[in-house]
Amino acid sequence: MTKLKIGDKAPDFQAKDQDGNPINLSQFRGKKLVLYFYPKDDTPGCTAEACDIRDNYNSYLQKSYAVVGVSGDSEASHRKFREKYQLPFPLISDTDRKVLEAYGAWGEKSMYGKIFKGIIRMTFVISEDGLIEQIIEKVKTKEHTKQIFDLSAH
């Protein structure tokens, strides 16, 4: 598994959002992209993270950021999750894990002493010209926007 670093060219991707619309990296050229990976729709941590971004979404727009969430859930699951919490940004359904693997967000995790493969919660901020500007590996779900903006100020 390739470990991406700040300054690397962000891997291109082709995927579909909750409504089956194609999404790829190049459509975000000219604005910053917050690409966040999360384990599962409608679970406590993932909901807190999505709602924190939702509640601060105007700040993202004011700073010319686009936001896209990615998990392995189906389009239908994403649609329900998005509607239930009125999320204003698209969610990529990455059931074949191509985007997750390209960004290193699929790998070994451990819980209660058991090791298993799964989605690693992490966020990438990608510059207007497609380079990785930030990588957040220790996501604070309830204050993720603050993490993103505090780091981008440095």
Residue 21 phi, psi (nearest 5): -75, 135
How does DSSP classify residue 112? T
Q: Spell out a b/e string for 83-111, using b for 16 or more CB atoms within 10 Å of the CB, else e.
A: eeeebebbbbbbeeeebbebbbbbeeeee
Whether 51 is catalytic: no
Considering only CA atoms, which of 135, 134, 145, 139 is closest in space to residue 59?
A: 145
Beta 122-126 vs 32-37: how paired, if at all? antiparallel
Choosing from 46, 50, 120, 122, the catalytic residue is 46
Look at residue 72 and give its three-state secondary structure: coil
**Bridge partner residues of 110 (DSSP):** 115
- Give the residue numbers annotated as catalytic, written as ranges: 46
